[in-house]
Amino acid sequence: MNNISFLDLKLAPEILRAVTETGYTTPTPIQAQAIPLVLEGCDLMAGAQTGTGKTAAFVLPMLQKLMPFASASPSPARHPVRALVLVPTRELAIQVEASVKTYAKHSHLRSLVVFGGVDIKTQTPHLRGGVEILVATPGRLLDHIEQKSVQLNQVQMLVLDEADRMLDMGFMPDLKRILALLPKQRQNLMFSATFSNEIKRLSSEFLVDPKLIEVARSNATSANVTQKVYLVGHGEKHDLLAQLLRGDDAKQALVFTKTKLTASRIARQLQREGFAADAIHGDKSQLERMQALDAFKSGKVTVLIATDVAARGLDIDQLPMVINYEIPSAAEDYVHRIGRTGRAGAFGNAISLVSPDEEKYLAEIEKLIKCQIERAEPLPPVKPVVRPVERPVERHAPRADYPVRSHTPHHSVSKRPVHDAWFNKPYEPSVSTQVKETPLVVQSVKPVSQIPALFMRRKPAESNE
Ligand code: AMP
């Protein structure tokens, strides 16, 4: 830990005031290290992931350096783009720009966020109006460059945030095109959670004599998060998930899957079962993703199924539960995923459903976090349910003693479909079922561990995101 306070960082009073208003008193380690270096004008290669306070680590010194250019003039010419922040996803773009706005609110510095998936025409007038700080996803920025709605010849600071994700998502060609359009004389900051060879190559290409800082990777998981693993077959996962979501701890849950297809499939199935569920992933339109996120944040949607990429930048306080429907093959992603719960002093649950083929990843995770995750006992059987037996005879020809179209209510019962939504709910016989002719069968739903292997063969065969 460090003993530096924000006062020691020599930030302008306008910026300090905004920081104080957010309630932060002490810089995080990445902030304490990065801010002085950026203020000195160094290029920076910073190893830090979401949750470390990395956004303020570049935004605060960026604002400080741009303060001399702040102008109250309405003229666009007085507000050229001076700092460009490139990010891989729309969610992160929105989040970063919201931070910029928060910290810049007592200055005349302007900021804007542009990302794809929304009508470009809605962004153009704002861009033409002039902004000092532009946060953008690479593809949409290139669109604006082509349409000549933005000039980048005054950029003096470039930030590549989550550079590793940008490379993962195939943004390298776009990045190169953008970098070629920037003034040679500029300060460059690169933030990345990992230091792959590709990242090192990228940094050697565009950073000049960079200072390297790396905050201790937060591979330690929070003590506020209770972690559990259920060892289950693939085919058991959905039933177990539904059972967990019905529990008291799961008032709101973020469910992670590896692939977009799985995320969509689970969301659809849960919706059919009566859950307020939705999915976010790269195939959804920007509008759909924003709507799903807003609905989740407001509590209208209680189960959000997300892929790692789509969940980047998703920042929800007080999230009680994270469920790994599939555990990630990269152990660091596990730490990142479960860090979404148990924030700000709150308690959280992180549950992982691990099938036999995933146990090797579980071992990697446990090695990384240096502890063995508790293996949970199979859940007890859900309450006995009473299900009416369908009378096949009524599907065909109505019999005289069971007139299907009768207006007397008791005959309607055997036509009632037995579907998933109420399969696991205690069955409350209504008036229409209390007739002596209608046979009833009392069944106990088996715990998932007792479902015969025959039903566990479903194999996910989806492409990775
Ligand atoms: P980031 O890594 O930038 O996504 O930030 C993670 C979280 O830490 C965000 O919710 C920030 O608002 C919060 N945060 C950033 N800086 C500080 C600080 N100095 N003290 C407390 N919280 C902070």
Rounded to an integer, the average pLDDT of 405-425 is: 35
Q: Which two tokens stand for residue 43?
A: 């290029």
Residue 341 alpha carbon to ligand 1 centre in Å: 15
- Annotated domain spans of the chain: 6-214, 225-375
pTM for this entry: 0.59
Phi, psi of 225 (to 5 degrees): -105, 120
Nearest to 448 by CA among 247, 232, 139: 232
Residue owning the nearest CA to atom 13 of ligand 1:
53
Residue owning the nearest CA to atom 12 of ligand 1:
53
Find out whether the beta carbon of 336 lies less than 6 Å from any atom of ligand 1: no
More confidently predicted of 49 and 219: 49
pLDDT at 288: 79
pLDDT at 312: 63
Find out whether the beta carbon of 55 lies less than 6 Å from any atom of ligand 1: yes
Find out whether the beta carbon of 28 lies less than 6 Å from any atom of ligand 1: yes
Phi, psi of 424 (to 5 degrees): -95, 5
Find out whether the beta carbon of 227 lies less than 6 Å from any atom of ligand 1: no
Same fold, 6-214 and 225-375: yes
- Which ligand 1 atom is nearest residue 315's CA? 10
Find out whether the beta carbon of 52 lies less than 6 Å from any atom of ligand 1: yes
pLDDT tens-digit series, residues 304-337: 999 876 676 566 767 889 999 999 888 888 888 8
- Which ligand 1 atom is nearest residue 26's CA? 19
Find out whether the beta carbon of 315 lies less than 6 Å from any atom of ligand 1: yes
Residue 177 alpha carbon to ligand 1 centre in Å: 32
pLDDT at 247: 84
pLDDT tens-digit series, residues 380-402: 766 544 444 444 443 343 333 33
Look at residue 212 and give its three-state secondary structure: strand
Residue 28 alpha carbon to ligand 1 centre in Å: 8
How many CB atoms are located within 10 Å of the residue 149 CB? 17
Distances (CA, A) of 403 to 395, 413, 432: 11, 12, 14
Distances (CA, A) of 339 to 54, 221, 321, 345: 15, 7, 10, 12
Find out whether the beta carbon of 24 lies less than 6 Å from any atom of ligand 1: yes
Range name among 66-70, 189-193, 218-222, 365-369 with the lowest pLDDT average: 218-222
Q: Which two tokens stand for residue 345?
A: 């002093």
Measured distance CA(386)–CA(18) in Å, rounded:
60
Do the strands 440-443 and 385-388 form a parallel or antiparallel pair, or are they unpaired?
Answer: antiparallel
Residue 54 alpha carbon to ligand 1 centre in Å: 7
Query: Is 6-214 a CATH 3.30.460.80 domain?
Result: no
- How many percent of the chain have pLDDT more than 70? 77
Question: What is the architecture, at CATH level 2, of domain 225-375?
Answer: 3-Layer(aba) Sandwich (3.40)
More confidently predicted of 294 and 264: 264
Residue owning the nearest CA to atom 14 of ligand 1:
53
Distances (CA, A) of 407 to 295, 403, 463: 42, 9, 52
CB 121 within 8 A of CB 99: no
CB 276 within 8 A of CB 300: yes
Contacts of residue 118, defined as CB under 8 A and 6 or more positions apart, other chains included, come to 286, 287
